[in-house]
Chain A
Amino acid sequence: MIEAVTTSPLFGIVLCIGTFQIGRWVQKKTGLTLANPLVIAILLCIGVLLIFDIPYEDFAIGGDIVNMMLGPATAVLALNIYNQYAVLKSHFVPVLVGCTAGSLFSLASVLLLCHLFRLDEAVTAALLPKSCTTPIAVGIAESHGGIAAITMVAVLVTGFIGAVCAPLFAKLMHVTEPVAEGLAIGACSHALGTTKAAELGEVQGAMSGIAIGVCGLITVVAALFL
């Protein structure tokens, strides 16, 4: 009976949605950045599989269907960029210069450190796009032979650092322009950082959102030359 349940595609789907809703509830109750619904959902899913000794392959039958929604979810980010088109246009040159500098510096510094730590190719390719938003980062990593799961860990860690430390960075580095602050948060810590940027101010939030899209595109193109 148990096997009939776990090998149904519905098992993976229900487990993903159920654990994610628990994660949302925990974040709402605690209000902590670290109580991220995605992290909680992943840990709960892994816990359920390990405790009840359910093979990963059973979970993946439904998990692949949930995973399939990532493509469309990334594509509709186009609507966000379109809605912020006016803001983007009014700061076009600083946005382009800042995002290009940030994206290229991120790729170069990660590549340098990966060589320094002697990491293998599959891990290096997974870490390279870590400053991008998860859907774009996973896309870049997979098309370059990187391990998607490793990319996700790096993207999440980076996002948390940005979201928690962004106000401290601004103080230490004398960043006073709200436009610069927003773009920098989006460039270094994508969507997780953007939640913090939106708390800091409307300009910061909008610029951070724009940086996610622009840096993502620049990184995709730059990664082709690596």
Chain B
Amino acid sequence: MGIMAQIGIVLAVCLVGEGIAALLPIPFPASVISMVLLFLLLAAKLLRPHHIKEKSNFLITNMACFFVPAGVGILRYADVLWANLLPLLAICFITTPLVYGVTAWAVQLTMRAIQKKEARHD
């Protein structure tokens, strides 16, 4: 499908997502609603991967570039960042290995439980 049509499809889904987010009484990110909408359209086969493939690949491979303005926005919050830098770093260094461990072990224990159950069935 032509690149202009692909851009149109993706932006239209996002526009609907923003509309739904505005209607919801709870704080739910519009981009995530658009993601769920797009997934449902793909799962229902109303959209095929080739309808949005090139546009999607362009957006995903260059995703980091779209974050540059938000990052530069730190200029306006430099004082907040400096005031909270130590706790911020402490929180990142403490929680990251813990979240890794909790996730990995939750998965390993679940997989072992499933294997045991299957072995018993055999």
The chain A residues found within 8 Å of chain B, CB to CB, are 12, 16-17, 19-20, 36-39, 41-42, 45-46, 49, 56, 59-60, 63-64, 66-67, 69-83, 85, 93-95, 97-102, 105-106, 109-110, 113-114, 117, 119, 122-123, 127, 130-131, 134-136, 138-140, 142-144, 147-150, 152-154, 157-158, 161-162, 165-166, 169-170, 173, 175-177, 179-181, 183-185, 187-189, 191, 211, 213, 216-217, 220, 224
Residues of B with C-beta under 8 A to A162: 96, 100
Residues of B with C-beta under 8 A to A72: 10-11, 14, 34, 59
The chain B residues found within 8 Å of chain A, CB to CB, are 10-11, 13-14, 17-18, 26-32, 34-39, 42-43, 49, 52-53, 55-56, 59-60, 62-77, 80-81, 84, 87-108, 110-111, 114
Please tell me which one of the listed residues A38, A117, A183 contacts residue B104 in the complex, with CB atoms under 8 A apart.
A183
Residue of B nearest to A50 (CB): B75
Give CA–CA (A119, B30) in the complex, Å: 27
A–B Cβ pairs within 8 angstroms, 22 of them: A42-B71, A42-B72, A46-B75, A63-B72, A72-B34, A76-B52, A78-B36, A79-B38, A97-B110, A98-B106, A106-B99, A142-B29, A143-B27, A152-B70, A154-B88, A175-B105, A177-B107, A180-B103, A185-B100, A187-B99, A211-B103, A224-B28
Contact across chains for B81 and A150 when beta carbons are under 8 A apart: yes
Beyond the given pairs A38-B68, A73-B66, A76-B52, 7 more chain A to chain B contacts, judged by CB atoms under 8 angstroms and listed by A's residue number, are A72-B59, A79-B42, A82-B39, A135-B31, A158-B95, A220-B32, A224-B27
Contact across chains for B68 and A173 when beta carbons are under 8 A apart: no
Which one of B38, B80, B99 has the highest number of Cβ atoms from chain A below 10 Å of its Cβ?
Answer: B99
Which one of A63, A71, A102, A185 has the highest number of Cβ atoms from chain B below 10 Å of its Cβ?
Answer: A71
Q: Do A20 and B106 contact each other (CB < 8 Å), given the known contacts A42-B72, A144-B27?
A: no
Residues of B with C-beta under 8 A to A142: 29
Task: Give chain A's interface secondary structure class.
Answer: helix
Contact across chains for A78 and B42 when beta carbons are under 8 A apart: yes
Please tell me which one of the listed residues A114, A143, A176 contacts residue B29 in the complex, with CB atoms under 8 A apart.
A143
Residues of B with C-beta under 8 A to A191: 63
Contact across chains for A147 and B80 when beta carbons are under 8 A apart: yes
Q: Do A183 and B103 contact each other (CB < 8 Å), given the known contacts A75-B35, A165-B97?
A: yes
Contact across chains for B108 and A177 when beta carbons are under 8 A apart: yes
Q: How far is the CB of A138 from chain B (nearest CB, A)?
A: 6
Contact across chains for A181 and B72 when beta carbons are under 8 A apart: no
Closest 7 pairs (CB-CB, A-B) = A139-B29, A63-B69, A102-B103, A143-B27, A42-B71, A75-B34, A184-B104
